[in-house]
Structure 1
């Protein structure tokens, strides 16, 4: 029986994982990245949020589906967005600007407390013409309160299209 030193054992494990084709990036991809892979990049197409049986994230996750090339949304900006909101586990839609018409948008002033914290943070940094998946843990959503069709403790997924930035 051979004995290895700790550094030797770590090197052997690293080499074994490399030989097996282990890909650390694939193993650590975020929930938002996984959802984004199933969202259409065509901004004229209504996004449909897939269901998930993976554990819900405990921190805000964002992943661009389409990176816009227009003006950037920053705190204090007034923005107009299209969105679909769904429950993380089931993918069931609970709200959508699309359901009110293809040209319907939601006006938001970033940082003004007009929307839940995770939605606000999820828009910040987007550029006009972009589409982004935002996965919001309950602490950045509605927390331990029921809100309309949204039960307390819900993890939410939004697909957000940034249509306009002013101010």
Structure 2
């Protein structure tokens, strides 16, 4: 730990130091923009002293241009990641569809029946209750109602396209493995920290019931 020239004895000093730490941590995350530490510190110091090297108009322009550049960089990175994941996903699906029991639909959705139920299939506007486990093609689990020991209920038309299509073919008691290409999942946007842009998703999906009023 580098020595400090600032005393941290009083509550005010400790709180002030903690505020500075929190500000800095916002710029140390993987997605944080590159900034000039010296200029950042000078900006804080000048603001506290009611001074400024830039007019308010110059500051607004700089921040707007910086934000535009950040968005451009993020979009380019997102597109690059999506491209890599789509190639990997398509390779996985091409191999997967040759396996016993795997059926590929015209949309690109693949499924395999693990356990057969009975009854009718839910309609697009109906609510269903399901148990599920979601993984990436590398086996990483990103969500599981089984782990929470709590099935979930939702409208058939209120989820990703791959689920909506599959659920309208399933019957209560069915348990299917769903292999969902990115365009039927979260597309180039991804979702959360684990589902990157362009990710192909795998779901173990069990239709427990069609919920009727």
Taking structure 2 as the reference length, what is the TM-score of the superposition?
0.49
The corresponding residue for 1:158 is 203
CA distance in 1, matches of 2:120, 2:131: 16
Confirm whether residue 105 of structure 1 aligns to residue 151 of structure 2: yes
In structure 2, relative to structure 1, the CA distance for the partners of 1:33 and 1:162 (3 Å cut) is farther
How do residues 44-123 of structure 1 correspond to structure 2 at under 5 angstroms? 59-88=108-137, 90-101=138-149, 104-111=150-157, 114-123=158-167
SS, match of residue 69 in structure 1: coil
Q: Deviations 1:45-84 (Å, cap 9, x if unpaired)?
A: xxxxxxxxxxxxx811122111101342222221000000
Higher normalized contact order (CA 8 Å, seq sep 6+, divided by chain length): 1
Give the number of the structure whose residues are more often helix, by fraction: 2
Deviation, structure 1 residue 30: 7.2
Tell me how far 1:121 sits from its aligned partner: 1.2
Describe the SS at the equivalent of 2:188. Answer: coil
Match of 1:4 in 2: none
Distance 1:131 1:125, change over 3 A: same
Larger Rg: 2
Q: Is the 8 A contact 1:123 1:160 kept in 2?
A: no
Structure 2: gaps spanning 5 or more residues: 1-93
CA RMSD after TM alignment: 2.4
> Structure 1: 5+ residue runs without aligned partners?
1-28, 38-57
Contact 2:127 2:153 in 1 (8 A): yes
- Give the TM-score, by structure 1 length: 0.61
User: Equivalents in 2 of 1:126, 1:137: separation in Å?
Assistant: 19
Q: Equivalent residue for 2:78?
A: none
- Matched length: 114
Poorly superposed stretches of 4+, deviation over 4 Å: none
Among 167, 181, 188, which residue is 1:144 paired with? 188
Cα deviation code 1:97-130 (max 9, x no counterpart): 01111xx11112112xx21111221211111111
